[in-house]
Structure 1
């Protein structure tokens, strides 16, 4: 009888602490923040809450033009940065998958940018972009070109931030795709080579279709993470000049910790969550359909 009782309560004993921790650090904060998003709560005016329903969401979608500017900047940033990271990362993965000497050393060097924190990456690139003492302007002057204000020019700030992001995250994509390449079966390649297939045909008809599930996973992980980009841009430009590099993550931060409007900041965070959720579901649906076919 004792053992039967222990068998019944054993799952509760083992799972219970994890459920409690999950509730305290995930579920309760989510419920709490949903309540904030439905309230008028400005810390500059005191700590009193006032329930306003969906007013914060209505204001964001219909009365705040800066939201759409920030959304456009975010989509451009993610499309260009992640797109180039996938293309360059795939090229690096294909190169490292070849039987070349010292490939282990190359992989070690490749992973260095990914091991750095975004704040450190931001500081490094801020020094490189320095208009007076930066390395990039030094080489521009060396070849007779005019110095550029990389982070102070609204037309250059976003491309400059994207370049730093590409440098940091391309190795991550390359390593995922390299692992995918090394897990592919060799038989289709050997049979195609015997049939006289060219390297381009091998890539188009065998490598790419077999690698596509891994490519979608890498793309999904990177897109989800790119929507949360904050520290790199905060160190480089703080979202400026103007709104030229202000992603939705920085826009939400500005409402919460600059204007102290916690209700609108919470609403923005859930809008960002919904955008990421919809995009994630699209990728997962495409991934599952690809696996079934």
Structure 2
């Protein structure tokens, strides 16, 4: 005879347990947004800076652009395994570079404090080219009349960027931020390949926690509730970014 019990209707009990009684939900929630903010801020800053550089003619430009875009098309799990070797505390390339610079070796993903910044560094390395590509598309469509007027007024290169280029490409930057925010929030493959949420629970994001609940603890209903909450969080953040982008477009 089977001891399996029939399914029980729990209504909103799973959501109540997640929000009020689960000791792993809120830490995973804050880790998810900590990882996302670190990655997005750096990707936007670096992506815009590199796009401005690529927007100017220089020798070997096409070759450099091709090499720069290669991380974006690589397999995430394979990248995770490569960076796992790079961050290896004893013989990893990252600590060899630090030793060459006279800096003490770091634990990287073996450290509870350093694991999220280290994972964000991998995301930055892989997806900054995407922000650069989107920003380049925005830069290519800018009218030259504004720059000619700025040059006549004696504006420096930095003033032209700050007063002309940046305001004009802000809608494009917000579009890139929206795409990357959604993608970074749901990052799973690289984190799972490199840490599986460790050390301890130090890199356990909502996606990793949902996977653990569903496929290791087999709490499928509870995992579904968590992922539904996660979906609505991503939806709210996306709507906020879209509203901000529309307001900027109205101002322009």
Give the TM-score, by structure 2 length. 0.94
Equivalent of 2:205, from 234, 238, 247?
Answer: 247
Q: Paired residue for 1:148? A: 106
Cα RMSD after superposing both structures: 1.5
Instruction: Quote the Cα distance in structure 1 between the aligned partners of 2:147 and 2:97.
Output: 45
Output one character per residue of 1:48-90: Cα deviation in whole Å (capped at 9) or x when no partner: 3211100000000010121110011111111111100100111
Q: 1:287 to 1:46 in 2, by over 3 A?
A: farther
Q: Paired residue for 1:292? A: 250
Rg: which structure is higher?
1
Shift in Å, 1:135:
1.1
Unpaired runs of 5+ residues, structure 2, are none
Shift in Å, 1:46:
4.2
Equivalent of 2:125, from 160, 167, 171?
Answer: 167
Output one character per residue of 1:86-141: Cα deviation in whole Å (capped at 9) or x when no partner: 00111101111112111111110111000102111101100101123211223344
Equivalent of 2:81, from 98, 123, 130?
Answer: 123
Instruction: Quote the Cα distance in structure 2 between the aligned partners of 1:80 and 1:289.
Output: 25
Q: How does 1:1-293 map to 2 (within 5 A)?
A: 46=4, 48-142=6-100, 145-293=103-251
Shift in Å, 1:283:
1.0
Q: 1:267 to 1:154 in 2, by over 3 A?
A: same
Determine helix, strand or coil for the equivalent of 1:138. Answer: helix
Shift in Å, 1:207:
0.6
Q: Paired residue for 1:9? A: none
Q: Is the 8 A contact 2:38 2:117 kept in 1?
A: no
Shift in Å, 1:144:
5.2
Shift in Å, 1:281:
0.7
Determine helix, strand or coil for the equivalent of 1:155. Answer: coil
Give the TM-score, by structure 1 length. 0.81
Determine helix, strand or coil for the equivalent of 2:109. Answer: coil
Instruction: Quote the Cα distance in structure 1 between the aligned partners of 2:48 and 2:248.
Output: 19
Instruction: Quote the Cα distance in structure 2 between the aligned partners of 1:88 and 1:106.
Output: 16
Output one character per residue of 1:135-168: Cα deviation in whole Å (capped at 9) or x when no partner: 1223344455543322211112111111111111
